[in-house]
Structure 1
Amino acid sequence: MRALLQRVSRADVSVEGAVLGEIGSGLLILVCAMQGDSSDQAERLAAKVAKLRIFKDEAGRMNRSLSDVAGSALIVSQFTLAADTSRGNRPGFSSAAPPDEGKALYEEFAAAVQALGIPVATGRFGADMQVSLVNDGPVTIWVEA
């Protein structure tokens, strides 16, 4: 699984003008299941995200995790993280998991993050979503499991 983490002071996701999920301080997590991924990758990615030390401590150093700062997670599915741009000008997405598998792994990932005690909000898998955020830092980190 792949994820793009953005440290945010706030973020929300909406579909057709209706807000589905919103958070204050925490992480916007754009996530993509890849072909061959399993529940193990979803669990490992959730644990890594919860423990990744990318929040400032008292000295201003990135030394605290999402769990440490009692932050929230807005988790949005984004199959375009599987883009292959190595040939031509049109990205290919054949390395993304098929939709049914992708949805199941997305839901497993969100549930695993929540099981770690992190408040979770989500988008809608497969929907045309609008995501708004205020990137804090900015801090943007690419993670794979």
Structure 2
Amino acid sequence: MPSYIAFDFNLPKGWGCLHTENKPLDKRITCMDEANVGGAAGWIGSSRCADGCGKSAQDKVRGKLPVDAQAWKPIDDVTSYARMTGTLGNGMRVVRIAMTCAFASTPGGTRDTLAVAMLTGPPETEDTLQKVANELRSRVPA
């Protein structure tokens, strides 16, 4: 993966990423299934957070994402997942998987960064989206 992101991770075969405008995150890449037109795609990135990346700091970053606040479910004190379904303007049904995880950007430091994944695709891609989010979570520095 590009050195632009503070952690390394793997993507499914046929996926690629490119640096995109950072908003609403501090650093962001957009990744997509380049092998399947109309397939899955999404953001992977990070945002700095204050006060040890506690719940309120995490909520502030998550509040900038196009994910309903009530969809977020805490997994542990540093990780939250969300799953939503909907219909695009063209009538296409989609599922969105999102994950955030707080980590220390420097070894031995305090948590100061929130890793973010927000992936969307047709319902049949949900397992792949979940695998990408889980891969990212497993690679974020402890």
TM-score, normalised by the number of residues in structure 1: 0.31
Which has the bigger relative contact order, CA under 8 A and spacing at least 6? 1
